[in-house]
Amino acid sequence: MTLIKTKHNRRSFLKVTAASGGGLMLGFSWAMSCTPADKVGEIPLEWFDINAFLSIAQSGKVTIMSPNPEIGQNVKTSMPMVVAEELDVKWEDVIVKQAPLNTDVFERQVAGGSQSLRKGWQALRMAGATAKQMLIEAAAKKWNVDKSTCSASLGVIAGEGGKSVTYGEIASFAAEMQVPDEVKLKDPSEFTLIGTDRGNVDMEGIITGKPLFGLDTYKDGMQFAVVLRPPAFGTKLKSYDDTGAKTVKGVNDVIRFGDKVAVLANSTWAAMKGKKALQAEWDNDENLESTNYHDRELRKLLNTKAEEPKRKDGDVNKGFSQADKIVEKVYEAPFLPHNCLEPMNFYAHVTPEKVDLLGPIQTPERTRRQVAELLGRDQSEIFIGMTRMGGGFGRRLYGDFVLEAAEISKLANSPVKVIFSREDDMTAGTYRPASKYKFKAGLKDGKMIAYHLVGAGVNMGNATREKNFPAGTVANYLVESHNLKSNITTGAWRAPITNFLAYAEQSFFDELAESAGADPVQFRLDLFQQAKDNPVGTVDYDIDKFMGVIKLAAEKANWGNPDAGIFQGFSAYYSHNTYVAEVAEVIMKKDTPVVTKVTCAVDCGIVINPIAAKNQVEGGVVDGVGHAMYGDFSFYNGQPQQNNFHQYRMIRMKEAPKVETHFVKSYNDPTGLGEPALPPAGGAVANAIYKATGQRFYKQPFMKDQIVLG
Amino acid sequence: MATFNIQVNGRQQQVDVDPDTPILWVLRDHLQLVGTKYGCGIAQCGACTIHLEGTAVRACSLPVSSVGDKPITTIEGLSEDASHALQEAWREHDVPQCGYCQAGQLMSAASFLKSNPNPTEAEIDAAMEGNLCRCGTYNRIKEAILTAAQNS
Ligand code: FES
Ligand code: FES
């Protein structure tokens, strides 16, 4: 049992009011951190923003308004489970609603970086526990007994002598109580809801085709807008001719804004046809970059000394000179589009009074600021509603399509929905940057004594994670990073940086272990043991947790003793505060390697909703394997060379391995789960294919190496 | 523009659209049936899968003029009360992540199970090849199809 404070310096993280229609309404701050208030000096003001609500109606139904947008990470189900656990109500009595960003009280909404649950955990628990305590105190007051004689469970408060009252019956009375200064949280061992499988709260809508997504927005008077954008990065609009477009039936208007031209029509199809009928000429005003240019420049950077190392322990050159074996390899990855299955889209209605925006965006608050700036409006006049999102993967952190919708609506003086075709979506992206890594390690008597990593990426900033493994395990350690500036728009892509860095590193370690004549799992464990006994510099990851998942994956996959005909590969990575180890299994079918299974061990703290948590791991693995094998994207003279799924291959059902997930039993606070299963997946598979075929992959996608994967 | 009489989910509907309009956009923009999704427009992703005379087709690549009087079923009409064996199985396996591909997956699977009520995994792989799931829920989809086959 933990006691936590609900106030700091007389400011409260919670507010209570009567619910409309009777009952109790509790507003709370989602941003409230996990750190107890009395342990920190200055508390950021936003921790006090009331941005989420829970209400208990007289019927006993509990409504939880979650401000966090759902992109498929199950936050809309898992987060309310945490509230319901502490509140102690039947899950069947809980209704979950997505809250729009349209009042001052809903702020700081962002989904991404696997952080939603991590950030909300303590706040959600506090909200549930506070409401429960207020209900108990209300019942005690009504019965005129001491509150310690009352207890609550599953929506009912019981007092001595068989007295009982439901939450619904006492809720209105509880709304008149003071918010307690301090509340008791359950001991995790007492949890009865957390840790049980609960189905997706949007399931019915999804399987019956209800309007849930941004693209499903249809409003009175709304026009459909499809936009012609510069075809290549580095070009701008010189002139255009809309004669043909205007003859398309259903097209109402053609509007230029900046270097783009919008076709407005009274149906999606007419707008798409109108866009195809536009004639435009483009000017080059900047470099037109091609993939071979990026390749050449990044390779050059790999052989350049960085001004400042990211981290340096010992002296790598001395280490290499003492080594009896040196292994050096370069790994390369292309740009990748996000390819959310729901293409980018947004609804906007700009009027002199206000700006209404609705659609799939992961960063409503930042986007609202940008729209305000673009339109020269006050932020208070801008209302953003969020829909469910047909995937995010990082793409919907960027509000370019919201700005387009707002601008077009303003110019057209009409409500509009901007729709990206798949071609628009794939060619006007914020891509996963292309990157390359050079690893060099020195071994002496089978032990790693020197390690040097150079990373280079396009618009990546720091392309490395210098504090990650193997930092701390090796006496001589050097990490350097280079950035190549480009006019191609790049951005976060599921597990930024690590989505490829982990692949490169974990493939390299497989080779390293082989050179050292060691088992790949034991090789890693020995390094961790060394860091435990004798750490070099600071160690910023939890060695025991890391070793824990490695051992668990090896045990569950029967590492080293596979059935006949099965080849295994190993990989482990730490990202987004979560530790994941994976064993991939490959079989040969008519001389072709087939990935049949990936066994995962995951330490992500306490698992709130296992059936959904496993879904995240399964999806992350399939995503990681799919992009490692097939994901290929290139530019020629600034122009993307793939624009739809006939040219850009994505993993399909028959290529998806089975995924077996094992969570480390833990009562620690939850950590990220949307991303961490992806980074290790590619490496595990590549290492298994090597066992089966003797072929290593230094470039993604593997397909390029003429390998056909069944 | 031209007038077309089409039968959707058992109801006769009249729409006034260009003959080349894909049935996908007729359903979504003109008939407010938005369960059928747009993902690629070129028959590569399966998000738009509907049934034409009971057979799965890609609505993005089917012009309204070619439909004639063949009955169309969309996800909204897959069952009266969301009780199709596949919908039940989808619940049981908690299949969706973002959910965007799932209507198309269900429609492909429903038409496939009708023609092959007891499929092997390899047959499911082949039948579902045209449906992308960007979130990677393939294993659950497959398990749910197997469950539905068992239960019906
Ligand atoms: S939208 Fe029809 S198959 Fe992709
Ligand atoms: S659940 Fe997101 S695309 Fe399939």
Interface test with B, best of A341, A345, A617, A646 (most B CBs within 10 A): A341
Instruction: Write down the pLDDT at residue A108.
Output: 39
Q: Which residue has the tokens 């390819």?
A: A339
CB A224 within 8 A of CB A267: yes
For A459-591, where are the E strands, in sequence order?
476-484, 566-575, 578-589
CA–CA–CA angle A574, A472, A534 (5° rounding): 125
**Mean predicted confidence (pLDDT) in A653-667:** 97
CA distance A668 to A647: 44
Q: Indicate the residue of A268, A341, A622 with minimum beta-carbon distance to B39.
A: A341
Cα(B131) to centroid(ligand 1), Å: 9
Instruction: Write down the pLDDT at residue A106.
Output: 37
CB contact under 8 A, A341 and B128: no
Cα(A100) to centroid(ligand 2), Å: 23
Chain B residues near residue A269 by CB distance under 8 angstroms: 17-18, 21-22, 25, 29
CA distance A17 to A380: 24
B134 lines ligand 2 (CB under 6 A): yes
**Per residue in A168-179, is it b (16+ CB within 10 Å) or e — as a string?**
bbbbbbbbebeb
* B63 vs A: CB within 8 A: no
First to last CA, chain B: 44
A2-200 topology per CATH? Aldehyde Oxidoreductase; domain 4 (3.30.365)
DSSP state string for B3-59: EEEEEETTEEEEEEE-TT-BHHHIIIIIT--TTS--S-SSSSS-TTEEEETTEEEEG
* B98 vs A: CB within 8 A: yes
Cα(A656) to centroid(ligand 2), Å: 14
Give the amino acid at A312.
K
| Shortest alpha-carbon distance between residue A276 and chain B (Å) | 14
Task: Give the least confident one: A88-102, A155-169, A462-476, A679-693.
Answer: A88-102
Cα(B36) to centroid(ligand 1), Å: 10
Nearest-atom number in ligand 2 for the CA of B134 is 3
Of A337, A318, A306, A340, the C-alpha closest to A641 is A337
Q: Which residue has the tokens 């007729």?
A: B26
Report DSSP state, residue A380. G
Instruction: Write down the pLDDT at residue A524.
Output: 98
Q: How confident is the model over A476-511, as pLDDT tens digits?
A: 999 999 999 999 999 999 999 999 999 999 999 999
- What the block records as the tokens of A135 is 């209900």
Cα(B47) to centroid(ligand 1), Å: 5
Q: H or E segment at A670?
A: none
Which domains, from first to last, does chain B contain?
Answer: 2-78 (3.10.20.30), 85-151 (1.10.150.120)
Percentage helix, strand, coil for chain A under 3-state DSSP, each rounded to 5:
35, 25, 40
Distance from the Cα of residue A625 to its chain's centroid = 17
- Return the number of other C-beta atoms located less than 10 Å from residue B69's C-beta: 9
Instruction: Write down the pLDDT at residue A710.
Output: 43
Q: Is the pLDDT of residue A326 over 50?
A: yes
CB B133 within 8 A of CB B141: yes
B74: Cβ–Cβ under 8 A, 6 or more apart, which residues? A209, B8, B9, B27, B33, B35, B36, B50, B51, B107
Q: Which residue has the tokens 């919708």?
A: A405
CA distance A155 to A168: 8
Give the amino acid at A664.
V
* B74 vs A: CB within 8 A: yes
Chain B residues near residue A622 by CB distance under 8 angstroms: 136, 138-139
* B103 vs A: CB within 8 A: yes
- Best residue among B95, B106, B133, B142 to mutate for probing ligand 2's pocket (most ligand atoms within 8 Å of CB) is B133
Chain B residues near residue A645 by CB distance under 8 angstroms: 40, 42, 44-45, 132
Which residue on chain B is closest to A211 by alpha carbon? B34
CB contact under 8 A, A658 and B139: yes
Instruction: Write down the pLDDT at residue A102.
Output: 41
Distance from the Cα of residue A202 to its chain's centroid = 19
Nearest-atom number in ligand 2 for the CA of B136 is 4
CB contact under 8 A, A612 and B44: no
A214-285+344-419 topology per CATH? Aldehyde Oxidoreductase; domain 4 (3.30.365)
Interface test with B, best of A269, A614, A673 (most B CBs within 10 A): A269
Band of pLDDT at residue A124, cut at 50, 70 and 90: confident
Average per-residue pLDDT in chain A?
Answer: 91
Nearest-atom number in ligand 1 for the CA of B40 is 4
B47: Cβ–Cβ under 8 A, 6 or more apart, which residues? A341, B36, B37, B38, B39, B40, B100, B101, B103, B104, B131, B132
Instruction: Write down the pLDDT at residue A613.
Output: 96
Nearest ligand to residue B38 Cα = 1
Beta-strand pair A151-153/A156-158: antiparallel
Q: How confident is the model over B76-97, as pLDDT tens digits?
A: 999 999 999 999 999 999 999 9
Residues within 6 Å of ligand 1 by CB:
B 38-41, 43-48, 58, 60
CB burial class (10 A; 0-12, 13-18, 19+) of residue A478? buried
Q: H or E segment at A340?
A: none
Q: Is the pLDDT of residue A258 over 80?
A: yes
The complex scores an ipTM of 0.98
**Mean predicted confidence (pLDDT) in B105-124:** 98
Number of inter-chain CB pairs under 8 A, A vs B: 186
CA distance A279 to A254: 12
- Return the number of other C-beta atoms located less than 10 Å from residue A466's C-beta: 18
Instruction: Write down the pLDDT at residue A33.
Output: 41
Q: Which residue has the tokens 């624009």?
A: A643
Interface test with B, best of A98, A207, A213 (most B CBs within 10 A): A207
Most confident of A40-49, A181-190, A544-553: A544-553
Q: Is the pLDDT of residue B127 over 60?
A: yes
- What the block records as the tokens of A285 is 């005003």
| Cis? peptide before A701, omega within 30° of 0 | yes
Q: Is the pLDDT of residue A43 over 60?
A: no
CA distance A682 to A690: 12
What CATH number was assigned to the domain covering residues A304-335+431-693? 3.30.365.10
CA distance B138 to A651: 10
Q: Is the pLDDT of residue A190 over 90?
A: yes
**Mean predicted confidence (pLDDT) in A452-461:** 98
Q: What is the pTM of this model?
A: 0.94
CA distance A117 to A278: 46
* B106 vs A: CB within 8 A: yes
Hey, do A2-200 and A214-285+344-419 end up sharing a CATH topology, with the first three levels equal? yes
SS3 annotation, B59-108? HHHCEHHHCCCCCEECHHHCCCCCCCHHHHHHHHHCCCCCCCCHHHHHHH
Q: Is the pLDDT of residue A575 over 80?
A: yes
Cα(A217) to centroid(ligand 2), Å: 19
Cα(A245) to centroid(ligand 1), Å: 24
Sign (positive or negative) of CA dihedral A416, A422, A427, A433: positive
B138 lines ligand 2 (CB under 6 A): no
Of A694, A675, A682, the C-alpha closest to A657 is A682
Q: At what angle do helices A610-630 and B138-151 cross, to 10 degrees?
A: 120
Of B27, B29, B71, B73, the C-alpha closest to B50 is B73
For A555-657, where are the E strands, in sequence order?
566-575, 578-589, 592-603, 635-636, 639-640
CA distance A552 to A607: 17
Nearest-atom number in ligand 1 for the CA of B61 is 2
A511: Cβ–Cβ under 8 A, 6 or more apart, which residues? A327, A329, A696
Q: Indicate the residue of B41, B87, B139 with minimum beta-carbon distance to A422.
A: B41
Domain boundaries, given as residue ranges, for chain A: 2-200, 214-285+344-419, 304-335+431-693
Q: How confident is the model over A391-432, as pLDDT tens digits?
A: 999 999 999 999 999 999 999 999 999 999 999 999 999 999
Instruction: Write down the pLDDT at residue A66.
Output: 72
Chain B residues near residue A217 by CB distance under 8 angstroms: none
B73 lines ligand 2 (CB under 6 A): no
DSSP state string for A519-550: -HHHHHHHHHHHHHHS--S---S-HHHHHHHH
Of A452, A440, A333, A335, the C-alpha closest to A697 is A333
Q: Is the pLDDT of residue A672 over 90?
A: no
Nearest CA to ligand 1 atom 3: B43
CA distance A73 to A391: 9
CA distance A316 to A301: 19
Beta-strand pair A416-419/A223-228: parallel
Q: How confident is the model over A348-365, as pLDDT tens digits?
A: 999 999 999 999 998 888
| Cis? peptide before A470, omega within 30° of 0 | yes
* B137 vs A: CB within 8 A: yes
Q: How confident is the model over A102-118, as pLDDT tens digits?
A: 444 433 344 433 455 66
CA distance A65 to B94: 22
